[in-house]
Amino acid sequence: MSGRASFGRTELPEEQEAHLRRAVRLAWLTVAFLLTAVTAVYFAMGSSQAMKAAWAEDLLSFIPPIAFLLAVHRTRKPPTPEHPYGYHRAVGIGHLVAATSLLAMGAFLVFDSASGLVKAEHPPVGLIEIGGHVVWSGWLMIAVLAYTAVPPVLLGRAKMPLAKSLHDRVLYADADMNKADWMTAVGAILGIIGIGLGLWWADAVAALFISGSILYDGVTNMRAAISALMDARAETYDGHDPHPLVGQIDERLSEIPWVATARSRVRDQGHVFHVESFVVPVEGHTPTLTELARARQDIVALDWKIDDLVLIPVEELPERMLPSVAAERSTRSHDAGE
């Protein structure tokens, strides 16, 4: 058994490599679709605030897939003396860039839409001539919005399981936005129909709804991106729960005969995790290099996401980590009682 430590892995297991290739194809397909959607909405939007907000959201939708493609390219680079941990954090940076853009544009559009509502602006939706026939331009807007509604939903559903498999938050943010795009299209359609029915405020309300959705996505993703970059505890790809690997690592370490107790700190580096495990040997036992190497290999074998693992024998667990142990035990007891 080799005791040689390795880290900074740039290749993925076969299954994840296949998922990554599919995710890259979906990202390029998303960019291609958005080019057609943005062009169509631009030429059809007229003076409708809802259409302008939908057009802005379509423009913003370019950011997550492009950030994902750039991050994937960057994570392929091996560690260097200047970047000894590798380039997996490119995923987190891409997530932050996407979140910042969403937050800024969402805030601007909310202000712009609310201003139009307060000023009681009446957006004109006139008539246009198509093939010698005069039609209400609202029908053209509705047709374009209907076109932009369906493909993103399908793309988002296809990306979501890949984001989970790859533990990729940029891909998750992209998929989440895609899945919610139908609400943008439906909201804008209702605003256009409202104008046709003489409800001048319907357009501004629809625009405000779309803007609020963009702002919410920005705030949610910004919180998750900043938390990850500040070395918060590793969480699931959607940022909702602590990652189950955190507990599994400590449980596996505790099963080793010469380990009395163990506690780990797990940081999310992007696709992979960096783990620092503190182990207290049983009284009177000093672990050998072979035992430490075997323990390290056992933990790394738990999951492909465990890349860097530092195993540190200590006399007692660091004091600052003890409260979290007690808190988790209390949580488990509470859940068991329920």
pLDDT on residue 54: 76
Q: What is the mean pLDDT of residues 139-157?
A: 86
The verdict on 219 and 263 lying in the same domain is no
The verdict on 213 and 254 lying in the same domain is no
pLDDT digit string, tens, across residues 281-331: 999 899 999 999 999 999 999 999 997 889 999 998 877 654 344 344 434
Give the CATH number of the domain where residue 314 resides.
3.30.70.1350
pLDDT on residue 307: 79
pLDDT on residue 338: 41
Contact 178, 60 (CB under 8 A): no
Number of domains making up the chain? 2
The verdict on 36 and 182 lying in the same domain is yes
Residue 9 belongs to a domain:
no
Give the CATH number of the domain where residue 69 resides.
1.20.1510.10
pLDDT digit string, tens, across residues 152-175: 889 989 999 999 999 888 888 888
pLDDT digit string, tens, across residues 248-272: 999 999 999 999 999 998 988 888 8
Residue 204 belongs to a domain:
yes
The verdict on 221 and 323 lying in the same domain is no
Distances (CA, A) of 134 to 126, 129, 140: 10, 4, 12
d(CA 166, CA 250): 23
Answer whether 0.85 is exceeded by the pTM.
no
Owner of token pair 């994840």: 16
The verdict on 225 and 92 lying in the same domain is yes
Query: 132: domain range?
Result: 14-229
3-state secondary structure of 322: helix
Residue 235 belongs to a domain:
no
Q: What is the mean pLDDT of the chain?
A: 80
